[in-house]
Structure 1
């Protein structure tokens, strides 16, 4: 089985198919879901082809979230065992397994699917009204995606693990490509959504303000971040 091809016109449909299958399986388990990460960047218009599907699973609002991601991944695998499976993480000390989706077509391929729950990486229990729909896919708000990418850049840049440190260069490119999407950036400038606590927790915003200030100093883009509503 081969991974999705590394060209935009072939890889992106693979990841979209994996995301669709994960979202539908989560729905059968009572969860709604929303896309973040590289696929969300692609759906908003960034040119890089996504490598995997990052899914935020949203538990039913009337129930306490007692699940963890491993329990949820196992439930997905049991529900659709033909197309979903897990493998051991590369880190020998890791206690989690990695979820993959495999196609059932004539040219089989596989795609990693990351399932996260609210609270992880400061991802919120996103209300339905805040979900953005693009090409039929539920996506996190553009402003949240931008700060999530900034968080990834900061985490990877300060990592002592070389493979994570190297990923900071891709995060930087993703941030800059998002900032080039003029229509979406203008929406954020007009709305200044940073006080919406249903999307941005106080802790996340405190960390984000520090990250924005540092990023703006490194890349000399203080004017743009000021327009977005940050004090540099």
Structure 2
């Protein structure tokens, strides 16, 4: 299956959403609740940068590899391809788009990468894309922050190269959270205590790096 990188032929927002809708439809038809997170969800909230792929958290205890099998079996536009790294045992899920284009769809479940279990009633359907479920904005922002700290500490240079983009995304999401959505921690009491505590530690690290962000973090309920 051909693979196109952002550097060669960037996917458009429309293509990303098409892949997301197809994956969501496959999951919902198999009675699996889900929501987007990562950059695809950020774009739906208004972040300007176009995402590279689709990240979906499936609210299930199933193994992500089994969930990929379900999606591939439901829709023949999905294909599973072995990881480019032979050391990896997982397979990569790709969605075929018109013009021999492809979009990668990553499947995760709660517990991986500090993803909290989201109550179904808390899933957001955000205009102007009310048919695409997304993670609430505050945990979405805090998971972006998790990505920033992970990339800073990674021994691989290509992962550390993601840090400047992470910082731009966090700054934009933080501004959106305060100025457009009036997000506050007190409205997200469902968030697990461990998740909030981890977030506080990462926010402190971020503020040490970018002191000017402290006021906005205070606005969303994290006193720093």
- TM-score w.r.t. the length of structure 2 is 0.89
Q: How does 1:115-134 map to 2 (within 5 A)?
A: 115-134=107-126
C-alpha displacement of 1:90: 2.7
Summarize deviations over 1:87-134 as a string: whole Å, max 9, x none.
Answer: 22233211111111112x3x2310000011121122222112211112
C-alpha displacement of 1:86: 1.5
C-alpha displacement of 1:208: 0.9
Match of 2:204 among 205, 213, 220: 213
- The answer for the alignment partner of 1:183 in structure 2 is 180
Structure 2, unaligned runs of 5 or more: none
RMSD (CA atoms)? 2.1
User: Size of the alignment, in residue pairs?
Assistant: 217
How many Å separate the matches in 1 of 2:11 and 2:149? 30
Structure 1, unaligned runs of 5 or more: 60-64
- The answer for the alignment partner of 1:62 in structure 2 is none
Q: How does 1:37-48 map to 2 (within 5 A)?
A: 37-48=38-49
How many Å separate the matches in 2 of 1:6 and 1:128? 36
Q: Secondary structure at the match of 1:188?
A: coil
Q: How does 1:21-36 map to 2 (within 5 A)?
A: 21-36=22-37
How many Å separate the matches in 2 of 1:223 and 1:30? 42
Q: How does 1:41-190 map to 2 (within 5 A)?
A: 41-59=42-60, 65=61, 67-80=62-75, 82-103=76-97, 105=98, 107-134=99-126, 135-136=129-130, 137-181=132-176, 182-184=179-181, 187-189=182-184
C-alpha displacement of 1:5: 7.1
**Structure 1 runs, 4 residues or longer, greater than 6 Å off:** 4-7
How many Å separate the matches in 1 of 2:85 and 2:68? 18
CA contact (8 A) 1:84 1:101 kept: yes
How many Å separate the matches in 1 of 2:28 and 2:221? 36
CA contact (8 A) 1:122 1:201 kept: no
- TM-score w.r.t. the length of structure 1 is 0.86
